[in-house]
Structure 1
Amino acid sequence: MKILVAVDGSKFALHAVKYAAKLVAQLQPGKHSITLLSVHDDTGLGHAKAFVGNEVVADYLREISEKELKPARKLLDAAGIQHDMVERTGHVAKEILECAKKGKYDLVALGSKGRGAIADLLIGSVAQRVLAAAEQPVVLVK
């Protein structure tokens, strides 16, 4: 089983990593993997790119991703679970969906911040967008 776990540095994302690790541990060893995905929306950084350049912004986003991925990597390393990492920039839900499809993942795991329905109606939710459009099963972990 191939599991894609979107990681944003939140405790909710780490809960999703723990869930995926527990799931993999319960399955036949050695035949399963987890991919940690970090996505940052860079659309609001257009002005910054004009002043400091694309490479500086890309380095900044890469540093953030590495910081956000560190606790998840540490958890999976301690559990002895095979994993890899993917870092992307762009619209977060779109990038998660594209990665899941291209990578032919069997399951997508996301942390859910648990905002109320009204807040989600007003500002939207990455989790809702992924749930609505994913071709594979999606699990939301609180």
Structure 2
Amino acid sequence: MKFLLATDGSAPALRAVKYAAKLVALMEESREHKVTLVSVHDDAGLRHAKALVGSEAVQDYLRELSDKELRPAIRALDAAGIRHDIVIRTGSIAGEIVALANKGRFDMIVLGSKGRGAMMDLLIGSVAQRVLATAKQPVTLVK
């Protein structure tokens, strides 16, 4: 089974990674499982920064940010003895998660839900809602 674990370094995202690690551990050990961590940053709001400092500097900054946010998830999977791959992308966060899930033929997407509240999510939406609405795969949200 192939799991795509989206993380942004938040506490709910780390809980989602730990939950997925438990799922993998509970599954039949003779089957090969693939776990991929993905970090996505929306760079649309950084157009002015790109004009000032250049696209490469912005990409380097986003890469460093992703590396920092991925560290707790990597430690959790390493501690559970689960091998994993890492993917770092920029663009529409939900769109990139779903596109990767489709292209990589993942069986399940696991991500944390920050739980801002129904009114806030109604006004601005959430990545979790957009992934749920557009993914073809089962999506597990962890609070």
TM-score range, shorter chain: over 0.9
Deviations 1:19-63 (A, max 9, x none): 110000001225112110000000011111111111110000000
Query: Where does residue 129 of structure 1 map in the other structure?
Result: 130
Are 1:39 and 1:92, in contact at CA under 8 Å, matched by a contact in 2? yes
Match of 1:11 in 2: 11
The DSSP-based 3-state class of the residue aligned with 2:17 is helix
Matches within 5 A, 1:1-142: 1-29=1-29, 31-142=32-143
In structure 2, list runs of 5 or more residues that go unmatched: none
Question: Structure 1 residue runs of 4+, over 2 Å off?
Answer: none
Identity of aligned residues (%): 67
Hey, what's the Cα distance between the residues in 2 that align with 1:128 and 1:136? 14
The TM-score with structure 1 as length reference comes to: 0.98
SS at match of 2:109: strand
By how many angstroms is 1:83 displaced?
Answer: 0.4
TM (norm. structure 2) is: 0.97
The unaligned stretches of length 5 or more in structure 1 are none
